[in-house]
Amino acid sequence: MNWPSLLPFFLVLSPVIAAPPVPVRVAMQADATGPLIPSDFSGLSFETQLVLADAQGHHFFSPDNKRLISLFRTLGIKSLRIGGNTTDNPAIAVPRSPDLDQLFAFARAVPAKVIFTLRLRQGDPTAAATTAKYVMDRYAADMTCFAIGNEPNIYAKTYREYVASLKTYLSAITGEGVAPTATICGPSTTPSHADWARQLAGDFGGDRRLRFISQHEYPGNSGSKVTDPVGARAAMLSPAWVEEYGKIQQSFAPEAAAHGFPFRLEETNNFYNGGAKGVSDTFAATLWALDYLHWWAAHDAAGLNFHTGDYVAKADETTRCWYASFWTKPGGGYEVRPIGYALKAFEMGSMGRHLPAPTLENPGRLNLTTYGVRLDDGSLVVTLINKECGQDGRGAMVILEAGPRFGHALYVELAAPNNDIAATDGITLGGGAIAEDGWIGHWSRLERDLTTHRLQLELPAGSAAVVHLVPN
pLDDT for 9 equals: 32
Q: Which pLDDT tens digit goes with each residue over 107-165?
A: 999 999 999 999 999 999 999 999 999 999 999 999 999 999 999 999 999 999 999 99
> Among 3-17, 336-350, 456-470, where is mean pLDDT lowest?
3-17
Q: pLDDT-based confidence at 5, cuts 50/70/90?
A: very low
Digit-coded pLDDT (tens) for 70-96: 999 999 999 999 999 999 999 999 999
**H runs (alpha helix) in 94-139:** 97-109, 125-139
Task: Give the whole-angstrom CA distance, residue 351 versus residue 344.
Answer: 12
Contact (Cβ atoms closer than 8 angstroms) between residue 118 and residue 128? yes
Domains of the chain in start order, with CATH, are 22-36+353-471 (2.60.40.1180), 42-348 (3.20.20.80)
Q: Is the pLDDT of residue 195 over 70?
A: yes
Q: Please check the confidence at residue 406 and state whether its pLDDT lies above 50.
A: yes
Average pLDDT for 346-351 = 96
List, for residues 409-468, the tens digit of each pLDDT value. Answer: 999 999 999 999 999 999 999 999 999 999 999 999 998 887 788 999 999 999 999 999
User: pLDDT class for 16, splitting at 50, 70, 90?
Assistant: very low
With contact defined as beta carbons under 8 Å apart, do 48 and 117 qualify?
A: yes
- Give the pLDDT score at 65: 98
Exposed/middle/buried for 236, CB within 10 Å: 0-12, 13-18, 19+?
buried
Q: pLDDT at residue 27 above 80?
A: yes
Give the DSSP letter of residue 21. Answer: P
DSSP H helical ranges for 259-324: 283-298
Q: What is the mean pLDDT of the chain?
A: 94
Residue type, 351: M
pLDDT in tens, 311-323: 999 988 899 999 9
The pLDDT assigned to 415 comes to 98
Q: What mean pLDDT comes out for the span 357-366? A: 93
The long-range contacts involving 323-328, CB below 8 angstroms and separated by at least 24 positions, are: 323/223, 323/269, 323/270, 323/271, 323/274, 323/275, 323/280, 323/281, 323/285, 324/275, 324/281, 325/44, 325/75, 326/71, 326/436
State how far Cα 329 lies from the chain centre.
22
Question: Residue 403 has what pLDDT?
Answer: 82
pLDDT value for 7: 33
Among residues 31, 24, 33, the alpha carbon closest in space to that of 454 is found at 24
Q: Which of 79-83, 139-143, 303-307, 376-380 has the lowest mean pLDDT?
A: 376-380
Say if residues 29 and 354 touch (Cβ distance below 8 Å): no
Q: Are 79 and 112 in contact (CB under 8 A)?
A: yes
Nearest to 16 by CA among 437, 310, 420: 420
| Cα 61-351-187 angle, rounded to 5 deg | 55
> For position 97, what pLDDT does the model report?
98
Q: How far is CA 41 from CA 59, 74, 140, in A?
A: 26, 15, 20
- Structure confidence by residue, pLDDT tens digits, 277-286: 999 999 999 9
